[in-house]
């Protein structure tokens, strides 16, 4: 048992639930936070087997986890575990660590933090954010559709008033052009419809292709800097798709610089680096390629950062908000991700692409 009065006072004042369990998995101490979490008084819990106070409802029983930790002396952490305490179920993170004290057999210290409320808050925030993004998407689609429809309706009205035998090609051309605009909008929202043509690709060739296109558009008004790591290996991908994704991001950076009249010394930096043992989503990869597109423009408003990859979300007055969404879809095809960090004077879009093959990922 814990005899140190100071240690007891510290543990008693923690907001994290802490239990001290001996080598027989019997509870020997629990702090007030643990009493509240377990809905069990200290008098009732101390001396009782832990399995009478706490049950892990997951595939791996808490009993086996504790005995494995005792045997190996390696700490164990489980996130968002579903636990039964008394008659109720809770979601909590818990960590199990060995505790070695002089003259006492190895014991265990268990820390628990209930996550139900935090998960509910996070879920509610996600619902609100998704709702706002959906409203923005609907407004953007309505705006993009409304303009061509207005042109089509106006042309049809003029066509109806045209006397028989008159030349109506001007009006029919308007209808055809505005209909094509609607079709192109739908095609862009659907994203690339053809299957990727996979081949070995040098990412620096793709970056140089994008750079040459942007140099023409910039007309010398923006400086382009390169910071490449030549040791990066090739990856298997469709080069046209990668060029499109990089061009969508770099083109946005160029427009942000050109549309800002107060911009001084506009610069876009293209950088490549390898990342080892890097996690994308929930998958850890041995080797990842990172492509950074950085500009020194005004930055992205903080209110847009969370939804910048949603379709029809744009920080530019004349932007459609489809470029970043399409780029993210392309990168997702290769199990990658695009991230963004922005502040006034520095905006960086990072394209993360795993370099191992599908068979290597599975192994």
Q: Taking all residues of the chain, what is their mean pLDDT, rounded to a whole number?
A: 83
Question: Is 318 a residue whose pLDDT tops 70?
Answer: no
- Of residues 358 and 110, more confidence is placed in 110
List beta partners, residue 276: 287
Determine the pLDDT at residue 199: 92
Q: Give the whole-angstrom CA distance, residue 25 versus residue 36.
A: 20
- The pTM for the full model equals 0.57
Determine the pLDDT at residue 151: 76
CA-only gyration radius of the chain, Å: 30
Among 339, 338, 251, 337, residue whose Cα is nearest residue 297: 251
Where residue 76 falls among pLDDT bands split at 50, 70, 90?
confident
Q: Give the whole-angstrom CA distance, residue 153 versus residue 155.
A: 5
Q: Which residues of 77-89 are buried (b: 16+ CB within 10 A; e: fewer)?
A: ebeebebebeeee
Q: What are phi and psi of 21, to 5 degrees?
A: -125, 135
- Of residues 257 and 166, more confidence is placed in 257
Determine the pLDDT at residue 300: 87
Domain of residue 341, CATH code: 3.30.565.10
Tens digits of residue pLDDT in 183-221: 766 666 665 566 778 899 999 999 999 999 999 888 889
Task: Calculate mean pLDDT across residues 301-308.
Answer: 78
Whether 276 and 246 share a structural domain: yes
Residue whose entry in the numeric block shows the structure tokens 């549309």: 259
Among 3, 52, 62, residue whose Cα is nearest residue 29: 3
Tens digits of residue pLDDT in 241-298: 899 899 989 999 999 899 888 888 999 999 999 999 898 887 889 999 999 999 998 8
Among 68, 38, 37, 70, residue whose Cα is nearest residue 51: 38
Domain of residue 186, CATH code: 1.10.287.130
Kindly give the residue spans of alpha helices, DSSP state H, lying in the chain: 5-12, 32-38, 42-45, 62-72, 116-161, 169-190, 203-218, 239-258, 302-305, 323-333, 358-362
How many domains does the chain contain in total? 3
Whether 86 and 17 share a structural domain: yes
Whether 206 and 100 share a structural domain: no
Domain residues for 316?
199-362
Among 273, 266, 275, residue whose Cα is nearest residue 225: 266
Determine the pLDDT at residue 261: 81
The answer to whether the beta carbons of residues 203 and 291 sit under 8 Å apart is yes
Determine the pLDDT at residue 320: 58
Whether 158 and 289 share a structural domain: no
Whether 185 and 222 share a structural domain: no
Whether 213 and 299 share a structural domain: yes
Whether 203 and 286 share a structural domain: yes
Whether 212 and 321 share a structural domain: yes
Whether 310 and 271 share a structural domain: yes
Whether 186 and 221 share a structural domain: no
Whether 173 and 271 share a structural domain: no
Q: Residue 96 contacts by C-beta under 8 Å, 6 or more apart in sequence?
A: 65, 66, 69, 75, 76, 77, 108, 109, 110
The answer to whether the beta carbons of residues 25 and 47 sit under 8 Å apart is no
Whether 211 and 352 share a structural domain: yes
Question: Is 358 a residue whose pLDDT tops 50?
Answer: no
Among 278, 176, 269, residue whose Cα is nearest residue 222: 269
């Amino acid at each position: 048992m814990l005899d140190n009065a100071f240690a007891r006072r510290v543990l008693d004042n923690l907001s994290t639930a802490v239990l001290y369990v001996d080598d027989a998995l019997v509870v020997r101490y629990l702090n007030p936070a643990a009493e509240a979490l377990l809905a069990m008084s200290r008098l009732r819990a101390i001396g009782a087997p832990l399995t009478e106070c706490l049950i892990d409802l997951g595939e791996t029983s808490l009993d086996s986890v504790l005995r494995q930790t005792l045997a190996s002396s390696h700490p164990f952490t489980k996130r968002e575990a579903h636990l039964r305490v008394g008659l109720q179920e809770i979601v909590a993170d818990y960590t199990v660590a060995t505790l070695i004290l002089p003259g006492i057999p190895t014991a265990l210290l268990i820390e628990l933090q209930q996550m139900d409320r935090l998960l509910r808050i996070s879920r509610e925030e996600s619902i609100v954010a998704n709702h706002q993004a959906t409203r923005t998407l609907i407004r953007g689609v309505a705006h993009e559709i409304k303009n061509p429809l207005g042109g089509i309706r106006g042309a049809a009205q003029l066509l109806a008033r045209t006397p028989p035998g008159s030349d109506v090609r001007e009006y029919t051309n308007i209808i055809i052009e505005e209909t094509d605009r609607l079709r192109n909008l739908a095609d862009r929202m659907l994203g690339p419809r053809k299957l990727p043509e996979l081949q070995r690709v040098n990412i620096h060739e793709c970056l140089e292709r994008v750079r040459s296109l942007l140099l023409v558009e910039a007309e010398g008004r923006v400086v382009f800097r390169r910071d490449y790591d030549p040791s990066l290996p090739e990856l298997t991908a469709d080069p046209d798709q990668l060029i499109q994704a990089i061009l969508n991001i770099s083109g946005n950076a160029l427009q942000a610089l050109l549309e800002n009249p107060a911009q001084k010394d506009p610069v876009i930096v293209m950088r490549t680096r390898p990342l080892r043992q890097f996690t994308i989503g929930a998958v850890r990869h041995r080797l990842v390629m990172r492509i950074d597109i950085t500009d020194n423009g005004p930055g992205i408003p903080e209110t847009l950062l969370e939804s910048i990859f949603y379709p029809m979300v744009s920080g530019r007055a004349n932007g459609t908000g489809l470029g970043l969404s399409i780029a993210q879809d392309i990168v997702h095809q290769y199990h990658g991700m695009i991230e963004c960090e922005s502040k006034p004077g520095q905006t960086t879009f990072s394209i993360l692409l795993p370099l191992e093959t599908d068979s290597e990922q599975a192994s």
